[in-house]
Structure 1
């Protein structure tokens, strides 16, 4: 068994099973890191992604609005990795706020 640092970001939607997730996070000794963001040490053998996914699935009600993203250090090359274990990426609320200049090259006709 190996203990690994995990950061978890979650959005369960308006009617999500926050109580179940909070109970699970509390059982892991998770610490709060901002709105819907937590850190904990996870003890696991085997595929950490599958183990986390299975354990969370057994603890909370998952629906189509459930989005859970984890950040962890890959055991193979020790690089930081991140991925959704439930749900997918959606458009960022800040999309369109920055000015992007389009450079058009003009030439004499």
Structure 2
């Protein structure tokens, strides 16, 4: 069985780009924007039947191929094994506060000095 997966990576300056890029190239990944690649035919072991098993398998493969630092992040999106929905999760790292937090005005009158 083969799966389509998206891989998003955020390594900073010291990340193992060479190891990750080699793995992406070995899997015929295509670039889909800064820090994002798609693997259209990622080979799955026939024993994998659940999303947890799949994410663990990909994570273990990457652990063997790249050096992951404490601040490195790799996120994967795939079509679920169990339901007909997209699934996503961090293979390494975790969410951070969004860089756009605070840009939207929550209340249009916050900046006005009105007695209402």
TM-score by length of 2: 0.84
Deviation at 1:65, TM superposition (A): 1.1
Q: Confirm or deny that 1:98 pairs with 2:98.
A: no
Provide the aligned length of Structure 1 versus Structure 2.
102
Deviation at 1:61, TM superposition (A): 0.2
SS of 1:25's equivalent in the other structure is helix
Deviation at 1:13, TM superposition (A): 1.9
Deviation at 1:88, TM superposition (A): 0.2
Deviation at 1:7, TM superposition (A): 0.3
- The corresponding residue for 1:34 is 33
In 2, the alpha carbon distance for the partners of 1:17 and 1:35 equals 16
Deviation at 1:22, TM superposition (A): 0.2
In 2, the alpha carbon distance for the partners of 1:87 and 1:78 equals 26
Q: CA RMSD in A?
A: 1.4
Structure 1: unaligned runs, 5 residues or longer? 103-109
* Deviation beyond 6 Å, 4+ runs, structure 1: none
SS of 1:69's equivalent in the other structure is strand
Deviation at 1:78, TM superposition (A): 1.7
SS of 1:9's equivalent in the other structure is strand
* Residues 49-64 of structure 1 mapped to structure 2, 5 A cutoff: 49-64=55-70
SS of 1:84's equivalent in the other structure is strand
In 1, the alpha carbon distance for the partners of 2:88 and 2:82 equals 14
In 1, the alpha carbon distance for the partners of 2:88 and 2:107 equals 31
